[in-house]
Every structure is written in structure tokens, then in C-alpha cells.
Amino acid sequence: MLEVKNIASGYARLPVLRDINLEVRKGEIILVLGANGAGKTTLLKTIAGFLRPTAGQITHDGASIVGRAPEENARRGLRLVLEGHRVFPDLSVAQNMRLGRIARGARKRDEDRAEQALDLFPILRDKSDMAARDLSGGQQQMLALAQAFIARPGILLCDELSLGLAQSLIPPILKLMRDWANEGTGILLVEQYADLALPLADRVIVMRGGEIILSCEAHELSSSSQLREAYLGVS
């Protein structure tokens, strides 16, 4: 389980997050919504270790991870798929995918998951020998998702996973997230397609100005036009 308590965070002279509290349990999807500049990406970067909080505590499976390097968090089962496609540019597509298996220890099940990822993103199979830097932005996003899928983290942090992808890919990817959660992974998901992601989420957090202004069960937001209008600006 991931627990965030009273977190404040930001950048050099630019505080962003204030008094953030949340938890992500195994097997659930928490959808994080909010306008640009609300602090969503800063929240994920802080949890993953790319930013150090200026106050508060973050624990993963009961152990503090404040100050732990992102690569150490990834090895211990907390993985961030960040907008911007953090893949290894000089390695081939196949080598990038193999890193997911190495992180967990190669097993037959991991080979099966690699095949499942390639079935979802067949373009990666066609470009398996190509350097990741030569992929389009959308293809790099596919590769980052494939890496994470193979690695099977206990906690997955996803920032705008649909960015740069064809819209036809969004529903199957979101279904993959739901299947992934059903296997026990806890997922904190920032996603612009709220209407598509909401039915698959368990809980919703709405952020504004670096604060959480609403935390509720997903079905509450789905069924209440008043809540959607008040917090998302849509009726």
C-alpha cells in the first residue's frame, strides 16, 4: 500500500502541493483529475522520488520512501510512467522491454506478459530492433507502458498515459489498467479522458491549486451531475 500524509512539495521558489493526503491500496485505481497546473504531475513526481517533499511523509508497504531515488523505488515495485516517455533512447525496443523482465527476474510469466504487450501494441513488434529514440512520441509512450506492464509493479503511477496515442487505443489501454488492478496492482492514474477512465476507477481525487478539493468513490462522481459540474466544470 502507498500512503501520502500531509505532503508539501514543489520546485525551487515555486511551492505547488499543500497538505496532500491519500492512500492507494492494492487492486484499486484512483483517478486524479484537475486542470493544467493543478499539481497532478508534481504529485506523481514527488511520490516516485523525482522531487523531494518539503513536508510530510510517504510510505510504501510501511517503509518511508522520502529521499529514496526513483530507480530504487522502481526496483522495489513503485513505478512511474510519465508524460515524456522515459525510455532508454539508445537501446532497441526489444532491449527496453527486456529491462522490465530483468527488474523482476526473468520468468515464463514475464515472457507471456511481453507477448500480451506486443499484441496490444503490434507496432512495437514490427520495430523491435529499432532504437527507442527513433520511435515517434506515441510509440515511445507505448514502449513505456509495455515496460511497466512486464515489470508488474505493486504500485503504478501513470501521468496522461493516453498522450500521443491514437484515440482508438485508449479504451483497450484503460481496460488493461483495470485488469492490472484486478491482479493486485494499485494504480494512481492521471488521465485527460475522464469520461473513459471514470467507469474503470474505484475512487476519484480532484485537485485544484495544489490541493485536493474532492475525494470520493468513482460512482458518486459518475452519478451526480451536480458534483461533475461543481468540480469538473461539466454537466
What are the tens digits of pLDDT across the range 206-219?
Answer: 999 999 999 999 98
Residue 226 lies in a domain: yes
Q: Are residues 70 and 98 in the same domain?
A: no
In a shared domain, residues 139 and 193: no
Whether 102 and 123 map to the same domain: the answer is yes
Residues 98-107 as b/e (b if ≥16 CB within 10 A, e otherwise) read: bebbebbeee
Distance CA 25, CA 49 (A): 19
The answer to whether residues 60 and 128 belong to one domain is: no
Overall average pLDDT of the 138-162 stretch: 86
Q: Answer yes or no: is 82 within a domain.
A: no
Residues 172-184: tens digit of each pLDDT: 888 888 988 998 9
Domain hosting residue 199, numbered range: 2-77+153-232
Packing angle of the helix pair 93-104, 137-151 (nearest 10 deg): 20
Question: In the numeric block, which cell numbers belong to residue 197?
Answer: 477512465
Instruction: Please indicate, yes or no, whether residues 146 and 162 belong to a single structural domain of this protein.
Output: no
Assess whether 24 and 72 both reside in one domain: yes
In tens, the pLDDT along 31-51 reads 999 988 999 999 999 999 999
Closest CA to 191 of 206, 179, 211: 206
DSSP output for 184-207: T-EEEEE-S-HHHHGGG-SEEEEE
The rounded mean pLDDT for the chain is: 87
Residue-wise pLDDT for 122-136, tens only, equals 999 999 999 999 998
Residues in the chain: 235
Select the more confidently predicted residue: 227 or 136: 136
Residue type, 163: L
Residue 38 lies in a domain: yes
Concatenating the DSSP letter of every residue in 90-130 gives TSBHHHHHHHHHHHH---HHHHHHHHHHHHH-HHHHHTTTS
d(CA 181, CA 187): 7
Helix (H, G, I), strand (E, B) or coil at 221: helix
Looking at 151, 173, 203, the residue that finishes a domain is 151
Q: Are 4 and 21 in contact (CB under 8 A)?
A: yes
Residues 117 and 204 in one domain: no
Cα–Cα distances (Å) from 67 to 8, 16, 48, 98, 161, in that order, read 14, 18, 10, 28, 26
Q: Which of 110, 136, 151 is the last residue of a domain?
A: 151
Integer Cα distance of 115 and 146 in angstroms: 10
Residue 83 lies in a domain: no
Q: Does 54 map to a domain?
A: yes
Q: Please state the pTM of the whole predicted model.
A: 0.86
**Pick from 43, 40, 48, 79: nearest CA to 66:** 48
Task: Kindly tell me if the per-residue pLDDT of 106 is higher than 80.
Answer: no
* CATH number for position 202: 3.40.50.300
Shared domain for 116 and 161, answered yes or no, is: no
Same domain flag for 157 and 227: yes
Residue 20 has pLDDT above 50, yes or no: yes
Verify that 168 and 146 share a domain, yes or no. Answer: no
Which of 98, 118, 151 is at the close of a domain? 151
Q: State yes or no: pLDDT of 156 exceeds 90.
A: yes
Same domain for 141 and 159?
no
Q: Is 67 left (phi over 0), alpha (psi -120 to 50) or beta?
A: left
Same domain? 195 vs 109:
no
Q: Measured between alpha carbons, how far is 134 from 26 in angstroms, rounded to an integer?
A: 36
